[in-house]
Each structure stands twice: as structure tokens, then as C-alpha cells.
Amino acid sequence: MTFSAMLSTAMLAKGGLSAENTGNTGGNADESSSQYAVKKPFGDSKDVARYDHYRVYSVMLDTNQHVNLFQKLEEQSDSLTFMGHAREVGQRLTVLVAAHKVADFGILLEIYGVQHRILALNFQEKIDRNMKEVIPADAAGASLDWKHFFHLETIYDWLEHMVAQYPTCLSIVEMGNSTHGVPIKGLKLSRKSTNKTIFIESGIHAREWIAPAAATYLINELLTAKHDAIQKLANDFNWIVFPCVNPDGYKYTFEHDRMWRKNRQLFGTCHGVDLNRNYPDHWNTTGASSDPSRYDYAGPSAASEIETMRLMDFLKANVENEQIRTYIALHSYSQMIMFPYGYTKEHVPNYNDLQELGSNAANRIQEISGRKYVSGSLIETIYPSSGGSMDWAYSNMKVPIAYTFELRGPSDSSDMFILPANEIEPTAHETFEAIRTIVEGANEKGYYK
Ligand SMILES: [Zn+2]
């Protein structure tokens, strides 16, 4: 069956899919879909969001007044898209400002004396350039490379292509379907059933296109690299890699809005839950929103989302029998290697080990490419956030080696999530080497005994 045929079949079966998810305590999903009768994931619309003359600002919050100003601005206006929230004096913040607001915003910066830099004058130019680096959706999986960006259809065809190339050690793994009935698929590499397993989750945030690309690169490297140490890693560990755990969101970024982050569940007039705020671990306690219109909406309840339940069910069913001892989540951007927790500054029991392995991984990247990655606990490194998959895997599934990577570019990047395609390969390579450093280091410390 073709991917689109699969999608239509899944659409027809949508009633069955909802019935299956009786664990969805949110309740909103069914009410909203009957009210708005969603039959196709994105309707018949061919409309595409545009960001002409949107500006990217980097602002410095030098005083409490600045912090208050930006907190109010974020509350008041959805014409300003914040990367993180205004929290404290001394913080640098990136804000995407809608074209019709640039004059007013500029005047506010002047009146309140906010130091700032304009990182980009016309964000749409970056998106246009990026879309030229996308290979059409009907491209076969065999044509996948790390010099272009690929639609979900091609990535999924590549998974099948790889299994056909390596039938003795590779197999397709599936979590089940997304909110809109798209399968959540990945690969399992296993040469010995007794091996401990490394689990890679990628693409939970739709617009972070480098993440699925880094995940497919990792699989390819494990299978094709000649280096002894890499072959050893592929022989002595099993790997379960899901390149895209938010397939509806990922598709939406190619078809309708390059800057979409969440899933595509409907809540009355707003779409989407931030799936990395939806996990049942200190859910919605900090760095998450209760407002469905926000980019970090935590959902109506913990684990309300189908994609969250799929991943949780998969991990619960496999963490023991597959001996999953490492959990790595791939994101962009900011160049960070972070470990639990996201919701509290309290240290995890193996903080020192995770700090050491994370720093070694960051050093390895600097050796390879000169890029500077920062390592630390998530709350210390990027910002407070709760309900993330990594915290849940670490605390609830007892996976002791758990990291969230923010890949290229740097935190003051003017490209934000729009990484140029010529950076895919170097980014994926340094990420692979960082993961290798972590796994080899954890092995030396006895985590896989
Ligand atoms: Zn992310």
C-alpha cells in the first residue's frame, strides 16, 4: 500500500482509532473533532503560512522592568513568537516579530532602553531557501542522503529500503498511529538478543528538521562505517531509532507551516499540544502553558495525546525485555547536551556521571568541528520545563543514561530551526560522535553490565 493510501485508510478508521484510546482522559479530542468534523488531517487547504518581512531579534533583559515588559508582551500578542520565556535579569531572548509589528516593537525597545540585535530582516527568505533544499515527497527511500531535507514519505520508504539491505540485523518497529492516523515507525538494529539497547527519539518538535536527519544518519553510520569502534558499537548494542515521533506535525511543516512545533490535535479554535510537555512527570508544573494557543501547551491532562501514549506504551512494553539503558532525544537548536531534570534544580542520583559524559561528548564535538556545545542538566542549561519525555524515561522507566540534544545552530542563530542543508551532514556526524562518546563512556562506567 502506498503511504497516501495508508493515510486514507487510517482516516476512514478514525473512529476505531479514538475508541482504541480510551486512556485519553483529556476528553477534548472527541468533542472537538465531532464539533468541527475533521475528516482529512489538514482539510482540503493548500494554504501555506508566510513570514515575509518577519524579523528575528535578539534582546537582552538587563533589568526587572525588561523582564516584566517581555512577559507582558508574550501574554498580549501572538504576533511575537518567543524562543523560551522571559524569566530573569541577564537573560538573552530570541523573538520572531510579525511584519505588521516591527515599527511598534522597535519603538518599545527604544523607549525602554532594551539592548538588541536584529538577526534577520525577512524570515521568509530563509524559508524559501530552505524549501529549495527539500526533495519532492515521491522520491524513493533509496535516494535519501544527508545533503537535502526529506518528506516523511521518503524517510519511511528509506526505513524499508534499509531493512531490505540488511535483513538479518534490521527490522521495522512500530508504535501505532498518530492523531491523524499516520504510523509512527522506526528501525531496530540487533545483532545479539542479549545486548543492551540504546533508544533514540527524534522529531517530537515538528519544525526541528535536523533531528530526523541526524537519526537516519546514525542508523546509516552504524551499518556502513568501517571504523572498528563503530562496528563494535553496532555489534555490542542494540539500537531502536524512531526518526519522527510527531509525524502529523512534521508533515504539516512541509505542507502548511514551516514553523509548526506541536502535534495537530484540535482544541476548539487552536491546534496542537507540545508533546515534550505532555509526559506524566511533574506535568505542567513549570515552563509549560495551559493555553492551547501557546507553543508550549502541555495538553488538557498528562499524557492526553495519542503520540505520547504511543511512545509510553512502547517503552513500557520494551524497556525490560529489550534492556533499554539509554534514552536520547534529538532537538534543535542551541547546541546543548542536557540530562535530567527539566523541572527542578535538584540533582539526579548519577548527576556527576551524566555531567562527565555530557562534557566529554561536547569536547568531542569541539575536536571534530570546532562547534561549542554546552552540557548540563536541562533546567540549568536551557530553561525550566516540565512534562518532557527524557524526565519521564529517566524517572519512571528507570533508564539511567538519558540526554536531550539541541543540535545546530548556536543559541543566537539567525536561522533558528531553518538549518541550511549543507550543515546536515556535519551536524549529524558530530551528533553521532557525541552519542558514541556517551555510550562508550557509560559502558566503561558499568552502566550496561
Ligand atoms: Zn525541540
Domain end position, chosen among 66, 86, 121? 121
DSSP states of 119-136 as a string?
EES-HHHHHHHHHTTEEP
Q: Of the candidates 96, 121, 146, which is a domain's last residue?
A: 121
pLDDT, mean over the chain? 92
CA atoms within 13 A on the CB side of 100: 4
**Residues 162 and 237 occupy one common structural domain:** yes
Residue 45: pLDDT band (50, 70, 90) is: confident
pLDDT in tens, 214-245: 999 999 999 999 999 999 999 999 999 999 99
* pLDDT value for 25: 36
pLDDT band at 43 (very low <50, low <70, confident <90, very high): confident
**Do the bridges between strand 324-334 and strand 196-202 make them parallel or antiparallel, or are there none, so unpaired?**
parallel
Helix (H, G, I), strand (E, B) or coil at 405: strand
Residue keyed to cell 508550549: 296
Q: How far is the CA of 206 from the centre of ligand 1 (A)?
A: 8
Lowest average pLDDT, out of 77-86, 210-219, 324-333, 359-368, goes to 77-86
Whether residue 107 sits in one domain with residue 244 = no
Determine which one of 201, 406, 423, 433 is catalytic.
Answer: 406
Query: Does pLDDT of 10 surpass 50?
Result: no
Domain span at 86: 55-121
Same domain, 172 and 112: no
Sheet order of strands, 116-120 included: 80-83, 91-97, 55-61, 116-120
pLDDT score, position 2: 43
Question: Distance, CA 107 to ligand 1 centroid (Å)?
Answer: 31
Residues 194 and 111 in one domain: no
Residue 223 within any structural domain of the chain: yes
Percentage with pLDDT > 70 across the chain: 91
**Mean of the pLDDT values across residues 313-321?**
98
Of 77, 92, 121, which closes a domain? 121
Interval between CA 378 and ligand 1 midpoint (Å): 12
**188-211: per-residue pLDDT in tens?**
999 999 999 999 999 999 999 999
Please state which of the ranges 18-32, 187-201, 237-251, 360-374 shows the lowest mean pLDDT.
18-32
Indicate if 406 belongs to the active site: yes
Phi, psi angle pair for 124, to nearest 5°: -60, -35
Planar angle of CA 21, 26, 32, nearest 5 degrees: 90
Q: Could you tell me the distance, in angstroms and rounded to a whole number, from the CA of residue 339 to the centre of ligand 1?
A: 14
Residue 15 confidence (pLDDT) above 80: no
| Ligand 1 centroid to residue 12 C-alpha, Å | 31
Shared-domain flag, residues 60 and 172? no
Question: pLDDT by residue (tens digit) across 422-446?
Answer: 999 999 999 999 999 999 999 999 9
Predicted local confidence at residue 364, as pLDDT: 98
| pLDDT tens, position by position, 97-134 | 999 999 999 999 999 999 999 999 999 999 999 999 99
Give the pLDDT confidence score for residue 302 in this predicted structure: 98
Q: Which residues pair with 338 in a beta bridge?
A: 376, 404
Nearest Cα to Cα of residue 204 among 361, 343, 311, 341: 311
Q: For the chain, what percent of residues have pLDDT higher than 90?
A: 88
Q: CATH code at 108? A: 3.30.70.340
418 in the same domain as 317: yes
pLDDT, position 261: 98
Q: Quick one: the chain helix, strand, coil %, rounded to 5? A: 40, 20, 40
In this structure, the answer to whether residues 142 and 116 fall within a common structural domain is: no
Per the structure, the count of domains in the chain is 2
